[in-house]
Structure 1
């Protein structure tokens, strides 16, 4: 008979231990905060005692206690024992556990345990994951084994958590604000309807729509955050959404502008994006002042902006006689039109 130690008899650990006993496993457990357990589970007084003689150890305490639990149990672990960490933790923590015990397995519980117990979908990774899957699968566990080191299962779990827990936070925040506004029942019905009718196209609509309409949606979430503030509800998710949409907008505007076509044989250069750290200050200032504005130097004489600096981007080289005579008769606007568009317009006008 396989001996399984369960460290931690909270909500998840107690249900898994009870199902293992019902399936015929020998279970010994320890939890400093629990004095009684399910029928058939043998309680021990320390982690080390619970692990004595165990073929498999299921650590189901907490991420904060995971490393200490392994350190306390190491002297009692028999050679070849499998240490399975079921706590929701970072991949780095799972890697440290594997470095301390070579047969450590990273186990991620992919659904809530209540109502499922041992049959909660589990994803496992690590050198001994296949062996552990065979043992627990024999007692009815639902196991998926990844071809990867400890930490691979935790990575999938946490990426999934960003969506599920993030969605839950958005729903709770919205319902709290709706309650203050007297619209909680209406919003509950609206959210329920949207969740029920979602399908495979919903994901594409959320992702593509956010990028396509980032500007409009950022204004919308800024208004939503302001509404929550007026209602006295902390706008944590609303403000985070507003800022994230702002980042999507920045991703587009920070891309270098396309090269312009050569005009009248003047070599073109890539325009410098607005407010770029590499853009010289005088060029950024020029886009705000306007090309046609005149500058007044210290001696009181007026100079056109194109003559204000020797390294200015306007082409002031003499033209052939025929063109030069024509330029003197043309208005300034037509004369400037001979030059490149980015010299005449601010970068923000070229988009």
Structure 2
């Protein structure tokens, strides 16, 4: 791969962040394709977004994959296997397919089977932190039979990754199980803060929690959790469905993961909330706006 030709499938937050972060001298070409390019209502804005980050806009999936020797898939979790199966017959022999989507190990194995059967090489990639501000430096875990070749490309692109021993799905398992806690906390904060604000006892509740867990910072963490769920809730809901599937694949009950899906989907699709300038240090105004959008009116008077 002397002249590394990269294609990004999906150009949302993660795809854009990688395009911004990679040193342009590390690759020969960078092409991007997103399903929004097929919709007249979103195509122009998506094309402008891609071009603004220095990538070529692909006119079709076939165009996107025609010359690629590295494909990085960063679509939504519910589209990951669909994207892999669509890409497989169009990929060049021996090309690497980095599946960085937040999917269950079973979904990753299904995607791997399609890619490998077509003669390309599948790599299970788990993104282990927020894509911003780290961009291409965000910690990754990778797994599968091609981790050696994958690491050579990762190092060339100045990315950071650790290898998880085992088959495809091993890296994804770490990501999925971790998300029970990480995304679950966001859902838990939503239920906590909205209930406390609606009943007018939020100040007392937060003060009590700060005594029980000193240094945790419930005000700031809660505000940040609400912002994440409001801005990224739809994508997080899709990821948490895969988390619930992971738990089920292990033969365990999954009511916590399932409830987390519900909260993220509700907040991510809630109408009437201004997501453009959410204060991530205070929860009060955000809670009031959410409650209003949910038709629950003004919060109750503060408890004496």
Q: Is the 8 A contact 1:12 1:113 kept in 2?
A: yes
Counterpart residue number, 1:218: none
Counterpart residue number, 1:6: 8
Among 9, 27, 31, the alignment partner of 1:28 is: 31
Deviation at 1:22, TM superposition (A): 4.1
Q: Is the 8 A contact 1:16 1:117 kept in 2?
A: yes
Quick one: structure 1 residues 183 and 87, their matched pair in 2 at CA, closer, same or farther if it must change by over 3 Å? same
Q: Which has the higher helix share?
A: 2
Among 85, 89, 93, the alignment partner of 2:107 is: 93
Deviation at 1:196, TM superposition (A): 2.4
Whole-angstrom distance in 1 between the partners of 2:146 and 2:133: 28
Counterpart residue number, 2:160: 142
Counterpart residue number, 2:170: 152
TM-score normalised by structure 1 residue count: 0.53
Among 209, 212, 215, the alignment partner of 1:196 is: 215
Quick one: structure 1 residues 197 and 175, their matched pair in 2 at CA, closer, same or farther if it must change by over 3 Å? closer
Q: Is the 8 A contact 2:125 2:171 kept in 1?
A: yes
Deviation at 1:71, TM superposition (A): 2.8
Whole-angstrom distance in 2 between the partners of 1:39 and 1:13: 10
Q: RMSD of the alignment, in Å?
A: 2.3
Counterpart residue number, 2:97: 83
Counterpart residue number, 2:281: none
Among 174, 179, 183, the alignment partner of 1:161 is: 179
Counterpart residue number, 1:46: 60
Deviation at 1:192, TM superposition (A): 5.2
Whole-angstrom distance in 1 between the partners of 2:206 and 2:129: 23
Whole-angstrom distance in 2 between the partners of 1:88 and 1:140: 22
Q: Which has the higher contact order (CA 8 A, sep 6+)?
A: 2
Quick one: structure 1 residues 145 and 185, their matched pair in 2 at CA, closer, same or farther if it must change by over 3 Å? same
Q: Is the 8 A contact 1:48 1:75 kept in 2?
A: no
TM alignment of 1:292-307, pairs within 5 A: none
Whole-angstrom distance in 1 between the partners of 2:22 and 2:152: 14
Quick one: structure 1 residues 21 and 5, their matched pair in 2 at CA, closer, same or farther if it must change by over 3 Å? farther
Among 65, 76, 79, the alignment partner of 1:65 is: 79
Q: Is the 8 A contact 2:17 2:132 kept in 1?
A: yes
Whole-angstrom distance in 2 between the partners of 1:195 and 1:91: 37
Quick one: structure 1 residues 149 and 11, their matched pair in 2 at CA, closer, same or farther if it must change by over 3 Å? same
Counterpart residue number, 1:326: none
Whole-angstrom distance in 1 between the partners of 2:7 and 2:108: 19
Whole-angstrom distance in 2 between the partners of 1:152 and 1:58: 18
Counterpart residue number, 1:187: 205
Deviation at 1:169, TM superposition (A): 1.8
Secondary structure at 1:161 match in 2: helix
Of residues 119-128 and 60-69 in structure 1, the stretch that sits farther from structure 2 once superposed is: 60-69
Whole-angstrom distance in 1 between the partners of 2:104 and 2:210: 32
Deviation at 1:184, TM superposition (A): 2.0
TM-score normalised by structure 2 residue count: 0.61
Structure 2 unaligned residues grouped into runs of 5+:
37-45, 218-254, 260-304
Q: Considering only CA atoms, is the larger Rg found in Structure 1 or Structure 2?
A: 1
